[in-house]
């Protein structure tokens, strides 16, 4: 789960950010030449690759130097690159002006993925900000052919429109030589996400769409509303969002679109939700009893604040086990105290909380919708077939709690199928053994057994 608001609450443990791009007062001196700063940034990248972090910190401005010392920079860099394998080459370096600053973005190719180094220079040519993110550097490999070498599927653009002011681009993936196949609608996790659910070049929704289409099943995936329209000025800002605006209204529109599309079997529509989308599957099923089945992939029946609380407890424990300064210990204790206080409020009656009040860094308005659409409120209403999938290496949604709760709620039914996969993470891809966002640094694919199991479930239901 990821998004505009970090669901790790007040602890920014899952971010790869070494320091946000610094704001501050405009520079009084003329900016150095952008081309020379690009050359300097390339040298910074080389210095960090070779371990010369002292040379890098010497270029920091006063604010940056106060926020990030040499040891912390080294620790952050080493953690970020540890999983990437050998450095191969620098792909590109681009510079551009951003207000009073010059920004340089460097894309580097490593053995297992790419990395983007984002460096911000102030008007005196000093480094005012630095950020590291993983990035895709190669064309994504797709399952485009059947065993005999022929095309396995075709893809066509569609538009999902819940509100005329915010139409969403989508892709309908259709199997070749299958007339009116059953169709699966993919529902995203939290936060802004494209139709592929792209994270660091990993594209689980593209994998699932192509894999199922190659097995005779159509798939609809679409860009999430706040990915395309991050502010949505005509329909309320992101701070006004609830689960209806974030996801459910667009799911309604996607279902209607597939019911009316002559290329698929509108009487056999499945919804597959990932992460938050999996959490919403019971509510979606209750609102749309005409669906043929639902599939929860790494979802939960618990309210989201409980998952956030568990994530925070794990982060706090890991931080306490490290070598913290007294100042850092104090900051951690303060953050942990705030997590406890906010979670206590969330567990109680939210009706008296103002909609714009912040809890775990998220407006109470959103948390109220989380409470309203919690899966446990609807699961007893769901009579259609259900498939529950999770990896045992998932560190964002907890198998011992969340997968077990699905089994407790639905284990006695003969139209429910469960699969817990050894060694798969939250993206249903092979784990790298990490329990933070570096888990997703290496490009991978949804495990083929997962796709086989989804296809088998669907075909068993529709036969």
Token pair in block for residue 391: 């990896």
pLDDT, averaged across the chain:
87
The DSSP secondary-structure symbol of 13 reads: T
Q: Residue 231's pLDDT is what?
A: 66
Q: Which residue has the higher pLDDT, 355 or 12?
A: 355
Asked if residue 112 lies in contact with residue 201, where contact means CB atoms within 8 angstroms, the answer is no
C-beta neighbour count of 422 within 10 angstroms: 8
Q: Write out pLDDT tens, residues 349-399.
A: 898 999 999 999 999 999 999 999 999 999 999 999 999 999 999 999 999
Q: Which domains does the chain have, with CATH numbers?
A: 34-135 (3.10.450.590), 153-302+374-462 (3.40.50.1820), 305-359 (no CATH)
Average pLDDT over residues 152-177: 94
Average pLDDT over residues 64-91: 89
E-strand stretches of 111-226: 114-121, 127-135, 153-160, 168-175, 183-187, 218-222
Q: Write out pLDDT tens, residues 196-224.
A: 999 888 999 999 999 999 999 999 999 99
∠ CA(239), CA(240), CA(241), 5° rounding? 95
Average pLDDT over residues 263-287: 98
Asked if residue 426 lies in contact with residue 396, where contact means CB atoms within 8 angstroms, the answer is yes
∠ CA(37), CA(50), CA(119), 5° rounding? 30
Q: Residue 239's pLDDT is what?
A: 54
């Amino acid at each position: 789960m990821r998004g505009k608001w970090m669901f790790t609450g007040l602890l920014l443990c899952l971010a790869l950010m070494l320091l946000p791009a610094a704001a501050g007062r405009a520079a009084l001196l003329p900016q150095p030449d952008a081309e020379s700063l690009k050359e300097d940034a390339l040298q910074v990248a080389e210095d960090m690759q070779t371990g010369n972090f002292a040379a890098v910190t010497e270029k920091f401005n006063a604010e940056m130097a106060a926020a990030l010392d040499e040891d912390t920079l080294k620790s952050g860099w080493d953690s970020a690159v540890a999983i990437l394998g050998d450095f191969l080459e620098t792909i590109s370096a681009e510079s551009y002006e951003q207000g009073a600053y010059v920004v340089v973005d460097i894309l580097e190719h490593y053995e297992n993925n790419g990395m983007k180094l984002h460096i911000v220079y102030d008007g005196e040519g000093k480094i005012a900000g630095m950020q590291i993110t993983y990035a895709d550097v190669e064309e994504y490999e797709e399952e485009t052919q059947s065993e005999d070498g022929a095309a396995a599927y075709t893809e066509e653009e569609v538009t999902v429109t819940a509100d005329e002011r915010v139409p969403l681009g989508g892709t309908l993936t259709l199997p070749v030589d299958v007339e009116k196949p059953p169709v699966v609608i993919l529902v995203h996790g939290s936060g802004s996400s494209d139709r592929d659910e792209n994270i660091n070049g990993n594209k689980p929704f593209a994998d699932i769409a192509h894999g199922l289409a190659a097995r005779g099943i159509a798939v609809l995936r679409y860009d999430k509303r706040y990915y395309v329209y991050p502010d949505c000025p005509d329909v309320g800002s992101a701070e006004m969002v609830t689960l209806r605006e974030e996801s459910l209204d667009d799911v309604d529109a996607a279902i209607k679109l597939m019911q009316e599309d002559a290329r698929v079997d509108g009487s056999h529509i499945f919804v597959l939700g990932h992460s938050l989308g999996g959490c919403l599957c019971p509510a979606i099923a209750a609102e749309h009893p005409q669906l043929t089945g639902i599939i929860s992939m790494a979802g939960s029946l618990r309210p989201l604040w409980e998952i956030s609380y568990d994530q925070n407890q794990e982060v706090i424990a890991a931080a306490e086990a490290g070598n913290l300064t007294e100042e850092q210990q104090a900051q951690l204790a303060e953050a942990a105290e705030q997590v406890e206080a906010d979670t206590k409020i969330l567990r109680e009656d939210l009706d008296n909380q103002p909609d714009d009040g912040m809890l775990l860094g998220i407006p109470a308005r959103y948390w109220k919708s989380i409470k309203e659409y919690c899966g446990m409120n609807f699961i007893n209403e769901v009579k259609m077939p259900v498939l529950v999938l999770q990896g045992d290496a998932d560190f964002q949604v907890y198998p011992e709690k969340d997968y077990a709760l699905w089994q407790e709620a639905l284990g006695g039914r003969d139209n429910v199928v469960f699969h817990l996969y050894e060694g798969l993470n939250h993206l249903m891809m092979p784990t790298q053994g990490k329990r933070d966002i570096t888990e997703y640094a290496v490009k991978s694919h949804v495990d083929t057994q997962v796709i086989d199991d989804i296809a088998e479930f669907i075909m068993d239901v529709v036969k």
